[in-house]
Amino acid sequence: MLIEAFCSVRGQTEKIASPFSPEDQQLQSMTDASPVKWHLAHGSWFFETFILAEFASRFEWFDEHFCYLFNSYYNALGQQFPRAQRGLMSRPGLERVMQYRKQVTAHVLDLLRDCDDGLFGKLAASLVLGLNHEQQHQELIMTDISHALLYRDGEQGPPVSGQSIRLNSSEGKSAADGWLDFAGGEAITGYQGQGFCFDNELAAHPELLQPFQIASHPVSNADWIEFMDAGGYDDPLLWLSDGWAWKTKNSIRCPLYWRRVDGNWRHNTLAGPEAETSDRAVSHVSYYEADAFASWKKARLPREGEWELAARSHAWETNHEPGRKPDNIRRPGQSIHELAFHDLALHDPGQCWEWTQSAYCAYPRFQVSPGMAAEYNGKFMVNQMVLKGASRATASFHSRASYRNFFYPDARWQFTSLRLARDAG
C-alpha cells in the first residue's frame, strides 16, 4: 500500500506541474517562493537523501552537485544554494530534473520491492515523511507559480501576456451566519492517533479552554468588501502596530490578487478572473489583515486549541448544541476533510487555511525528530503564526485537526483566510 501511495504522490506532483512550460517552471517572483522546477527536484532530493542514500545498497548520487542545489535548509547536510537565487538556476533544465525524478522514483520502487520486513521497518517512517513532505510541496507549487504569474496583475498596466491555465473549479457553497458555542474545559491539543504526524504536532497535551464561540463559516468575500467599504484599511485603531506599518509601507488596499475593475472587485486566479464568489471564503489575506478584520467585527481570531477542538466536534458538525462539550474530544487524528466545519468539504474550491491568533511555538514536551529530519519544523518556531485547516491546494488526506501550518504574519500568497471567534460564558 505504501508503494501505491508513493506512486500516486509522485505522479500527482508531476501532474500539478504539467500545465506549465519550462520557462514558467523557472520563475521565482520573491524570495519566499521557489520555482516549480526547484520543487520538483527538491522532492526527489529528499527521497534520494533520506531513503536511497541511507538504505539502498550500491547507492550513487544522480548528480552530487544536486545536494547543494536542492537542499532547502538542512544545515546538517551541508551548504545550500542561496534561496533568493533559485530563479537563476537555468541549469539543470527541466528535462534533466524530470530524469532525476524518474530515476529516484524507480530506485525507491526497486528498494521497496526488494526489501525485507526488517529493512522496511527501518525506512517506513522516513518514506511516509517523504510523502507528506512532497505533498506540502505540491501546495507550494500551486501558490508559488500563482504568485509568479499573478503578482503583477494588481498593478497598473496590462498583465503579462499568455492564456489562462484551466484549473478544475466548481461553484462555492452559499454561506450562512452563525456562531458555534463551546463550554471550554480541558481539551486535548495535538496529535494522538496511530498514523503519521509531524513532530510539531506532539506532544498531545491537555489545555484549559475558556468558554468561547467560533463562527460556523469563514469570513466571505462579501464580508471583506463590507470591511473595505467601511474604511477598514484606513483606520489605524483596528490594526496591530506592526500590521499598520506593513500596510502603509506596502500600500496594501485589498487582498492579494484583487483588483478594482470598473467599480467591481475582481479576484484573479490562475484560471482567470473569478466569477461571482461573494459567498466564498476570502482568500490571500495576511494575519495583519485578518486581525484587523476581527477587531472591526469586535471579535478575535480563534486560538489554535479552540480551532482544533471545534474541528474535532462531530456532534457539533451534524447536530450542534450550544455549550455542549463535544463527546469526541479525545478522538482526534481524523482527517479534517471528514469532519470539520460546516462548510469544509473535500476540495471545496474556496477552501483556505485559517489564521489563528496563536504564535507558532513548541508544544509542551516537544522534541525535534531525531536524525536528519531534526531541522524540519523546530527551527522555525519564532515570528510565525499558526494556520489550521487546509486549502483547495492541499493534497487529499494530507491535513488533520492537529495539523500546524505556519507563516509569517505578512504572508499573503498562500490560500489564507480567517474565521471569527469570541469569548463566551
Residue range at the interface with a copy of itself (CB under 8 A); choices 53-61, 207-215, 320-328, 346-354: 207-215
CA–CA gap between residue 421 and residue 301 (Å, rounded): 5
Count of residues binding a copy of itself (CB under 8 A)?
71
Does 148 contact a copy of itself by CB under 8 A? yes
Nearer to a copy of itself, 198 or 239 (CB): 239
Q: Contacting a copy of itself (CB under 8 A), which of 222, 225, 315, 362?
A: 362
* Residue 109 beta carbon to a copy of itself: minimum distance, rounded to whole angstroms: 26
Q: Does 160 bind a copy of itself (CB under 8 A)?
A: yes
Among 6, 46, 55, 81, binds a copy of itself (CB under 8 A): 81
Cα 411 to Cα 212, 220, 243, 270: the distances in Å are 27, 19, 11, 19
Of 4, 23, 117, 177, the residue at the interface with a copy of itself (CB under 8 A) is 23
- Could you say which of 22, 193, 272, 273 contacts a copy of itself (CB under 8 A)? 22
The DSSP code for 267 is E
Give the shortest CB-173-to-a copy of itself separation in angstroms: 32
Reference 91, options 60, 65, 72; nearest CA is: 65
Q: Does position 88 bind a copy of itself by CB under 8 A?
A: yes
Indicate whether 93 belongs to the interface with a copy of itself (CB under 8 A): yes
By CB under 8 A, tell whether 240 contacts a copy of itself: yes
Helix (H, G, I), strand (E, B) or coil at 302: coil
> How far out from the chain centre does Cα 368 lie?
20
* Contact residue for a copy of itself among 122, 166, 260, 379 (CB under 8 A): 379
- The answer to whether residue 183 forms part of the interface with a copy of itself (CB under 8 A) is no
Q: Is 258 in the site for a copy of itself (CB under 8 A)?
A: no
Within residues 268-307, the interface with a copy of itself by CB under 8 A covers 287-288, 291, 300, 303
Cα–Cα distance between 402 and 353 in angstroms, integer? 13
The residue among 29 and 351 lying less far from a copy of itself, judged by its C-beta, is: 29
Out of 48, 139, 201, 207, the only residue in the binding site for a copy of itself (CB under 8 A) is 207
Rule CB under 8 A: say whether 382 interacts with a copy of itself. Answer: yes
Residue 365 binding a copy of itself, by CB under 8 A: yes
Closest separation between CB of residue 386 and a copy of itself, Å? Answer: 11
Candidates 314, 359, 376, 397; binder of a copy of itself (CB under 8 A) is 359
Rule CB under 8 A: say whether 24 interacts with a copy of itself.
Answer: yes
Q: Which of 380, 368, 371 is nearest to 406 (CA)?
A: 380
Under rule CB under 8 A, residue 84 binds a copy of itself = no
Take residue 404 and report the three cell numbers written for it. 500546524
**In terms of Cα–Cα distance, which of 39, 149, 21 is closest to 86?**
39
Per CB under 8 A, 186 contacts a copy of itself: yes
Output the CA–CA distances (angstroms, integers) from residue 120 to 48, 127, 132, 342, 380, in the order listed.
16, 10, 18, 40, 31
Residue 45 near a copy of itself by CB under 8 A: no
Report the residue from 5, 76, 275, 346 that binds a copy of itself according to the rule CB under 8 A: 76
Binding of a copy of itself by 71 (CB under 8 A) = no
How many C-alpha atoms does 83 have within 13 Å on its Cβ side?
A: 9
What is the C-alpha separation between 234 and 236, in angstroms, rounded? 6
CA–centroid distance for 165 within its chain: 21
- List the interface residues with a copy of itself, window 317-356 (CB under 8 A): none
CA proximity to 388, closest of 304, 280, 300, 332: 304
**Cβ neighbour number for residue 306 with a 10 Å cutoff:** 25
What is the smallest separation between the CB atom of 37 and a copy of itself, expressed in angstroms?
8
61 binds a copy of itself (CB under 8 A): no
Given a contact cutoff of 8 angstroms between Cβ atoms, the answer to whether 92 and 86 are in contact is no
At 399, which helix (H) or strand (E)?
Answer: none
Q: Which DSSP string corresponds to 107-118? A: HHHHHHHH--HH
Exactly one of 256, 385, 387, 421 binds a copy of itself (CB under 8 A); which one?
Answer: 385
Identify which of 120, 146, 185, 397 has the alpha carbon closest to the alpha carbon of residue 283: 146
Check residue 104 for interaction with a copy of itself (CB under 8 A): no
C-alpha closest to that of 137 among 23, 50, 9:
9
Maximum separation of any 2 CA atoms in the chain, in Å: 66
Picking from 85, 100, 151, 109, the residue whose alpha carbon sits closest to that of residue 9 is 109
With contacts defined by CB under 8 A, name the span among 258-266, 321-329, 343-351, 377-385 that binds a copy of itself: 377-385
By CB under 8 A, name the one of 146, 283, 357, 417 that touches a copy of itself. Answer: 357
